[in-house]
Structure 1
Amino acid sequence: MGLTKGSLQSFLAFCPPPLPLMDLSFSYSFSISPLRGGGHAANRALLASLLETLQIQRLFCGSQETLRLSLGIGAFHHCFTCCVRSVSVEDSLCFCLCFPPHDAGSCSKLLDPGFLQSEQQAAKTIDIRWKSSSCMGIKSTATLMGVLPLTRTRKNISMSRRLRTVLFLCHQGHRNTMTSLSALNISLQYPPARRDDTVVEDYHGVKISDPYRWLEDPDAEEVKEFVQKQVKLTDSVLQECDARGKLRETITKLFDHPRYCAPFRRADKYFYFHNTGLQPQNILYVQESLEGEAEVLLDPNGFSEDGTVSLSTLSVSEDGKYLAYALSSSGSDWTTIKVLRTDDRNVEPDTLMWVKFSSVSWTHDNKGFFYSRYPAPKDGDVVDAGTETNANLHHHLYYHFLGTDQSEDILCWRDPENPKYSFGGSVTDDGQYILLNIAEGCDPVNKLYYCDLSKIPNGLEGFRNGNSLLPFVKLVDNFDAQYEAIANDDTVFTFLTNKDAPKYKLVRVDLKEPTVWADVLQESEKDVLESACAVNGNQLIVSYLSDVKYLLQVRDLRTGSLLHQLPIDIGSVSEVSGRREDSVVFIGFTSFLTPGIIYQCNLGTEIPDMKIFREIVVPGFDRSEFQVKQDFVSGKDATKIPVFIVAKRDIILDGSHPCLLYGYGGFNISITPYFSVSRVVITRHLGVVFCIANIRGGGEYGEEWHKAGSLAKKQNCFDDFISAAEYLVSTGYTQPKKLCIEGGSNGGLLVGACINQRPDLFGCALAHVGVMDMLRFHKFTIGHAWTSDYGCSDKEEEFHWLIKYSPLHNVRRPWEHTDQSIQYPSTMLLTADHDDRVVPLHTLKLLATMQHVLCTSLEESPQRNPIIGRIDCKSGHGAGRPTQKMIDEAADRYSFMAKMLEVHWIE
């Protein structure tokens, strides 16, 4: 079409913000004639104005310069990549237009002869130039298809005639060129990584190569060099991410608000955590009464200059005089227990090392506590705790007397015949029993033993010089269900269990008749019984999960009958703080748009008095700017998958929005609504639609939901997540090249599997600390405990489950397996050097594999979207990370997302 400067301005007024290209099957191009009679100088000026106004990025694809821009055409908002051989001499510019699949019906309209005939007369008035072209290396044959009018109107814009764009079909004949290019302005040079093709393992007759097994040794110099080069590469990419600085600044500003946890009472004191805003770690405070002045009891920020030493767990003695606390360094699961006197803040000499996966439970005589640990490393094997990869075996339960050396601790329980078992000890509220919880994996099942401390001759002191274990009695001695003690009156115990109740129930048993169990609160038909807390004598506060939304009730401990419904908004109960002697209970609540409320609930009145004790206020956050809804998506097998959607209020579903889809789907863990500063920022300033898909494998609908996404049915997790993504596209929230997926740990596995299975569906992927090598995960640290959810490659049947979806073993060049030119989405794999839960080797091996298969193994790779790794130092699996590290990581990953999706900052 012929353009003047005036019509150019009007034309640009119709253009939406720049959007990314789509790897889709419908490809079109059109031509724009330069100014007639204007000469090359005028044409160059016009083009420069066009490029500047549309914020076009200059890219390079081989030897051909390309430009990217976004235009609005009629009811459509689409992106173009224009290839320009010579801006100054070309008679016309050739653009390539891609329609998403849900616009296929609109595309087919262009083929309708009636539509074409109706537009022929109008087309005669427009200067149209046709030509065959080679666009982005795609050899194409131009065929006239029709005229698509631009008919949108706006106030204050006067158009003398309708602008029109001529489309013609591009037949793709060159498979090694993608229909989208990376948004980066730099050419990435991936560091070479040695491949050892001699490493081949036989899995039940199937030969599997493992060329990057050398990356499993964290102490090897070659591994350290690989990591350093990857860090350098990632830094070069992040420097190109325009929103990085603004994200860091804005997240920091919004993060700078006071935060509190619910208080808990011991003896005559109240304890609670508080952070003024940007302190690296939360500080533990103590006060004599709720109205009294609070004093700092323990400030972990003084343990390290960079804030990387954190509190992992703590327990206050029954008399309130001692605090036992466990410190973690650099985010490792390894902790060291210390003891502090609450009156004068003096730290006792007690130091307990090699503690992992442990609680701390005091005996009521205040002489000491139970804890769990692993054997110390053998002489010469001492390493930087948290960087080692050897399996965690032979968990032991110990009792520590105050004022003694760890070597004198009482060994209470061990099981050398079952080295993978883990043990946890908890003293009952009446102080009479120590309960021993035994687990083999992560399934919600456990054995349960008990020991009556009051009937031990000479008490625990009698075991100080002996070699015998505590005389535990076996109440439940199989792994067929989960049993969590809620309360006891002498020998009568109440348990929360999933025994014959996948949505959980409350049962009661008398230790004098251990085979007779009775239901106290029966299983709900629909809702999942999440928790029960005995308070105020014989009352319970129970929480249910109903379609991933919390319900809170007061019930009778003896009968299970409903006493009161406690009013809460749609969201999550984060904590219930209270014990049987407490008539006043504290309840923590959060939601997508509620930073946090701590309710004070007085159960001593006829009707519970529930009032706000503390409310977390985030300056600058206005919940009225946003909207939250929950949709239910039909999965591949018609299962209904809940999806939460958080967006700006009054969003228009035109497919133009960037979208972040988060998922987990494993280990019976429910992902419920919660407040996130960083996601509020990207929703407000990047226009992101944030979504959570509550896929199978989690605990959102009980144990049946969990089992439907584990072991042989693990593929259901990926199918559910993909269905959620397709739903967000089909309903107009986004389009594939605007869609980013994110997950951590088991959710990192989810992301890794989904980009392998549907690389065409996503524009960006963020995989945190993921389990990526499904054939060897069980060999490292606590990985053997995950076989309950995944299976184990040592078993032939389970090997065949795992090899089908293992992210490491299913990286393929998608352009070789489809008739479309598809590449992997821009991908960031995140890990940390002290992650001893999901060790970094998972991420490193997948990173090397993806870069080799998709990029460096080809002389000219079609993979333009970057594959990078963010490897943090002095960090672990996530817990205990200081505030600044959380802010920095959020700014890095979301600025990468913004750059890859071509999203621009909104003030």
Structure 2
Amino acid sequence: MRRSLALLLSCLTFLSPVTAQTPPEDPYLWLEDVQGEQALAWVRERNAVARRQLEGDERFAPMRDRLREILDSKARIPAVARRGDALYNFWRDENHPRGLWRRTTLAEYRRAEPAWETVLDLDKLAADEGENWVWAGATCLGPDYRRCLLSLSRGGADATVTREFDSVDKRFVDGGFVLPEAKSRLEWIDEDTLYVASDFGPGSLTDSGYPRVIKRWRRGQPLAEARTVFEGERGDVSVSVSVDRTPGYERTVFSRATDFYNSLEFLLEQAAGEDRLLPIDKPTDATLSFWREKLLVELRSDLRAGDTLFPRGSLLVTDAAAYLDPKGRDARCYTSLFAPTPTRSLAGYATTATRLVLTVSDNVASRLEELRPAEGGWERRPVDAPYPGTLGVSTLHDPLLPKDPLGEHYLLSAVDFLTPDTLSLGQAGTDERETLKSSPRFFDAAGMRVEQRFAKSKDGTRVPYFVVWPKGAVADGDNPTLLYGYGGFEVPLQPWYAAASGNVWGAHGGVFVVANIRGGGEFGPGWHQAAIKADKQKSYDDFIAVAEDLVANKVTRPARLGIQGGSNGGLLVGAVMLQRPELFNAVLCQVPLLDMKRYHLLLAGASWMGEYGNPDDPADWAVISRYSPYQVLAGLAPGTALPPVLFTTSTRDDRVHPGHARKMAARMMALGHATLYYENIEGGHGGAADNAQRAEMMALGYVFLWQQLGRAPAHATKAAP
């Protein structure tokens, strides 16, 4: 399937006023001590300064309250996942800030106000146990889905505590499976047996901090006695296991992720009471997915089979048994189900009982296609669906049920920048759909408009971007404008309905821009691979080009232009801020990577060397050092002016180390640059553990942007519609 979600930014040509030099020692290394007394004292001091400036603004409280109202709105569409006869949902609102795990039936879900049955009240559990639990998901054993493994995070961290839960009796199972806090992965084998990958002590984790050992764990057995069945290497990213329990097609596949984009996979074969692991001969960067007797192969690099060359970004299908036969490699027969073009890429796919539903990105907007096997080949049918915008398909088919009444049904979500989400019930083979839910309009979009434009990057590449214009705005070069980007890990930024920013930004005259820069997945793996490792600078060149295009076409001017990005997007805005500081007047840098000399040594950082390279390799560091913000900052020419920056992160972020933001902020402050810093104690990599924290963090960011980019101090104080 694919990835999705997004972050921010844009800009121009690389004319850096800096020389990247690594200082002989890092004077702020002590800020990497996440829970250290000295480091936390520094955090509290900086938080107080940021709060005084931002919360003291008359815009803050109305903004925060409106954002909280939106996040808690009972009119939101409750996202559901099918388990047996029930549709499950996890829900937060003002009365349940930690959330309810609940369920209903499809018949009830069709109603305007479904009757929900609470399965677990996380607020009550947290209060009863004195823990700051944050929901991290459930893995339930089909086909009855009674036994579930619940993952609970302290404060929103990636590491979770896992506990077995009875979804019928609605209680934790006495003497059931319990796993202590770790970045674990678990998979049901049967009701009394699990595969578990976790922290088993010294030597059991990879350099990235993820499990490298998988054990088979029986009910009632001490975890220490569970038998090791699979191991990766310390230099891998992680290991995993997938159990396909489809009747007649049962398979177990173990995997070693050797880096972020490559894996080695092994099929479990059980004979005479013994386990054998048979290597699966596949391109290491290809993704395999079993579909009964078929195997779907998604390519990240070109594949030649006989006289046929299948380009990267293709989706192929073949016979699973023939593919797995180690003697039949040369006789493999592939059928291409999707082939990319320069403007079309595969965004994802879902399987019903008999059909395949493709989501295709066509110039960064979604289209649907439906395929089914037929005599002599595959039948292809375009599906009539909303366009342009973003579509999401979630199948309702349960392969564990031999006669599944929902086997051909799927949920279709549709959204664009100005149109709230709708959720429909679709059925393969027809374009007819039943609208189940529609989100309300959280802001008045009358008079607003969306454009897709293209900027020319430094090397001549056309880079698309979206401009969301507020009502009455004209290209006079004076519009407060927020540029958002991500540009990494093959993540595409497709249109979404930003209810929050629509209220506190667009509804008050702010222009919102989304840059589809290289490094993302908007045009498939080639668009991503064009801006990784030695070519990472192309992401920044693309972003700069979008920013320059905005100025050249009088959408805005540098004094009114702000940029925002988080995680890899935080690295993006951090790098671009230093390369072209004169282009921007505000930088909102969230949960960022910034010290690229040490990123691979901090938390999950080693897992991203497939994207950035290895700083310990002199050739890689020669490239990384030219954009690594923390090191580039140290080599800034004296007197270089930088735009004001707000850094935000979380103490509980155990994916991207908060030391990145802490050290960068400390160095900027020491050099006299306008810098604000705010660190939420909870929240994990998402930055917030509940809607109250999320509303507060968002309000801090938008107040900062309006202080820097707004036309008048009271610009955002009007009541939101």
Deviation of the 1:666 alpha carbon: 0.8
Cα shift at 1:650: 4.0
Q: Alignment partner of 2:623: what SS?
A: helix
Quick check: 1:311 aligned with 2:135? Answer: yes
Match of 1:297 among 116, 119, 132: 119
Q: 1:616 to 1:299 in 2, by over 3 A?
A: farther
**Match of residue 697 from structure 2:** 889
Match of 2:424 among 599, 602, 605: 599
Task: Quote the Cα distance in structure 2 between the aligned partners of 1:288 and 1:394.
Answer: 37
DSSP-derived class of the 1:209 partner: coil
Structure 1 residues 208 and 566: CA distance shift in structure 2, 3 A: farther
Paired residues of 2:421 and 2:439 also in contact (CA < 8 A): yes
Identity of aligned residues (%): 24
Distance 1:430 1:824 in 2: 58
Aligned match of 1:64: none
CA contact (8 A) 1:552 1:568 kept: no
CA shift, 1:338, in A, is 1.4
Deviations 1:127-183 (A, max 9, x none): xxxxxxxxxxxxxxxxxxxxxxxxxxxxxxxxxxxxxxxxxxxxxxxxxxxxxxxxx
- The 8 Å contact of residues 739 and 764 in structure 1, kept in 2 or not, is answered as yes
Q: Which residue does the alignment assign to 2:523?
A: 701
Q: Does 1:475 align with 2:277?
A: no
1:708-723 alignment, distance < 5 Å: 708-723=530-545
Q: CA deviation at 1:693?
A: 0.4
Which of 703, 709, 713 is 1:901 aligned to?
709
Question: Which of 663, 684, 700 is residue 876 of structure 1 equivalent to?
Answer: 684
1:478-627 matches, within 5 Å, as 479=284, 481-489=285-293, 492-500=294-302, 501-509=311-319, 510=322, 511-512=324-325, 514-515=328-329, 516-526=332-342, 527-536=344-353, 538-557=354-373, 559-579=377-397, 580=399, 581=404, 582-603=407-428, 607-618=430-441, 620-627=442-449
| Superposed displacement of residue 545, structure 1 | 1.2
Matches within 5 A, 1:294-693: 294-304=116-126, 308-318=132-142, 319-348=144-173, 349-356=176-183, 358=185, 360-363=186-189, 365-376=190-201, 392=209, 394-402=211-219, 404-415=221-232, 417-430=233-246, 432-443=250-261, 445-452=262-269, 455-457=270-272, 470-476=275-281, 479=284, 481-489=285-293, 492-500=294-302, 501-509=311-319, 510=322, 511-512=324-325, 514-515=328-329, 516-526=332-342, 527-536=344-353, 538-557=354-373, 559-579=377-397, 580=399, 581=404, 582-603=407-428, 607-618=430-441, 620-693=442-515
Aligned: 1:234 with 2:50: yes
In the TM superposition, residue 517 of structure 1 has moved relative to its aligned partner by 4.5
Matching residue of 1:55: none
Larger radius of gyration: 1
SS at match of 2:195: strand
Q: Per-residue displacement from partner, 1:591-644 (whole Å, max 9, x unpaired)?
A: 3223322210123xx5243221122224x5333342222111111112111111
**More moved, 288-297 vs 684-693:** 288-297
Maintained 8 Å contact 1:262/1:586: no
- Partners of 1:405 and 1:588 in 2: CA distance: 44
Shift of 1:263: 3.2
Change (3 A) 1:376 1:874: farther
Change beyond 3 A, Cα 1:813–1:434: closer
For 1:823 and 1:519, how far apart are their aligned partners in 2?
57
Scaled by the length of structure 1, the TM-score of the pair is: 0.68
Partner of 1:48: none
Q: 1:635 to 1:369 in 2, by over 3 A?
A: same
Q: How far does the alpha carbon of each residue in 1:441-487 deviate from its partner, in whole angstroms, 9 at most, with x for none?
A: 222x32222224xx4555xxx8xxxxxxx5221113663x2213141
Gaps of 5+ in 2: 1-19, 110-114, 303-310
| 1:252 matched residue in structure 2 | 68
Computed over aligned residues only, the root mean square deviation of the Cα atoms, in angstroms, reads: 2.9
Distance 2:644 2:396 in 1: 47
- Identify which of structures 1 and 2 has the higher relative contact order when contacts are C-alpha pairs closer than 8 Å and 6+ apart: 2
Distance 1:564 1:575, change over 3 A: closer
Shift in Å, 1:827: 0.4
Superposed CA offset, 1:466-519 (max 9, x none): xxxx5221113663x221314132xx4233333413223123242235512513
Tell me which residue corresponds to 1:280: 97
Compared CA separation, residues 294 and 408, structure 1 to 2 (3 A) = farther
CA, structure 1 residues 424+320, in 2 after alignment: closer, same or farther (shift >3 Å)? same
Q: Map of 1:145-160 to 2, 5 A cutoff?
A: none
How far has the Cα of 1:354 moved from its partner?
A: 4.0
Aligned residues: 659
**1:761 partnered with 2:565:** no
Shift of 1:695: 0.6
- What TM-score, normalized to structure 2? 0.85
- CA distance in structure 2 between the aligned counterparts of 1:595 and 1:236, rounded to whole angstroms: 35
SS in 2 for 1:493: strand
Tell me, yes or no, if the aligned pair for 1:829 and 1:870 is still in contact at 8 Å: yes
Query: CA distance change for structure 1 residues 377 and 617 in 2, over 3 Å: closer, same or farther?
Result: farther
Distance in 2, Cα, partners of 1:823 & 1:232: 25
Q: CA–CA distance in 1 between the matches of 2:152 and 2:552?
A: 48
Change (3 A) 1:560 1:843: farther
Distance 1:336 1:457 in 2: 36
Distance 1:871 1:714 in 2: 28
Asked if residue 838 in structure 1 is aligned to residue 656 in structure 2, the reply is: yes
3-state secondary structure, aligned to 2:246: coil
- Please say if residues 653 and 732 of structure 1, whose CA atoms lie closer than 8 Å, have aligned partners that are also in contact: yes
CA contact (8 A) 2:480 2:510 kept: yes
